[in-house]
Amino acid sequence: MDRSQYAAIIEERLSDELERLRDEFREHTVQSCVIDHLLPEEEVLKIFKAFPDKDTMMLKKSLRENKYVAAQMNKYSAILEEIIFAFQDPRVLKVVEEITGIYEMVPDEHLYAGGISLMAKDNFLNPHLDNSHDKNRQMYRVLNLLYYVTPDWHEEFGGNLELWDNGPKEPQRVIAANFNRLALMATHEKSWHSVSQVVVDRSRCCVSNYYFSAKPLEDHEYFHVTSFRGRPEQPVRDLVLQGDIALRQAVRTVFKKGIVENKHVYKKD
């Protein structure tokens, strides 16, 4: 299948469950909803099998996170680029706007922090807020679209999306990284989220997209760098990461585009 064919199926599935998804999206502080069985199973297995070896991807490893990512999609199997950009099709964008109530969104052809990600044993993401803007700090990041494609994945394996509706000090709710599941999640000043540590010797694979808007989801303007915190059981790490936030926020306040080039973008010829 190509991106147009994928998009047609995605649009139909989302439309079929539009009312449920719309209601679910509005239930929590971190607005979110999920839909299962997004694509025919045989097609999702093709996508999963096309994922590259993690050693060919960028490893992001620190106290904040430990995961593999890739955005330079012309280096990998063409099917991965097709499914990523299917989520940027105008038909998909339109129905997602109807579900979320967030209008005038713009997909990101540069895949800033998007593309594909792989989490192997011991990989994790600590609670964090995504960078509030796009790579040029001109548009607000307003929605994450996370499509999980690993077959026979179970919640107890880890690698699940965690949403901290009351902040990183309070209990989180879990969206399991089930096979063929799409999760939509709003991003704003209160959208704390994380990924639980993978505890099995397998790879949890995800196709990621982000939508942007000229308008913030809050009723005021704001800017923040990607901001990581410690989990409730990590008080020392939390203090270190709060200092890290303050330092990087200060740098970005002075240097609007930062002082280090972000390599997690799709550089097209």
Determine the structural domain holding residue 197 and report its residue range. Answer: 3-254
Annotate 10-61 with DSSP letters as a single string: HHHHHHHTHHHHHHHHTSSSS-EEEES--S-HHHHHHHHHTPPPGGGSEEEE
- Say if 229 falls within a structural domain: yes
Q: Could you report the per-residue pLDDT of 13-28, keeping only the tens digit for each?
A: 999 999 999 999 999 9
| Total count of domains within the chain | 1
Q: Could you report the per-residue pLDDT of 73-99, keeping only the tens digit for each?
A: 999 999 999 999 999 999 999 999 999
Using a pLDDT cut of 70, give the percent of the chain over it. 96
Q: Which two tokens stand for residue 191?
A: 């959208």
- Say if 185 falls within a structural domain: yes
- Say if 141 falls within a structural domain: yes
CB 180 within 8 A of CB 149: yes
Nearest alpha carbon to residue 44 among 182, 176, 162, 157: 182
- Say if 203 falls within a structural domain: yes
Strand 115-119 relative to strand 58-61: parallel, antiparallel, unpaired?
A: unpaired
Total-model pTM: 0.94
- Say if 269 falls within a structural domain: no
- Say if 37 falls within a structural domain: yes
Kindly report the CATH number assigned to the domain that includes residue 205.
Answer: 2.60.120.620
Q: How far apart are CA 91 and CA 89, in angstroms?
A: 5
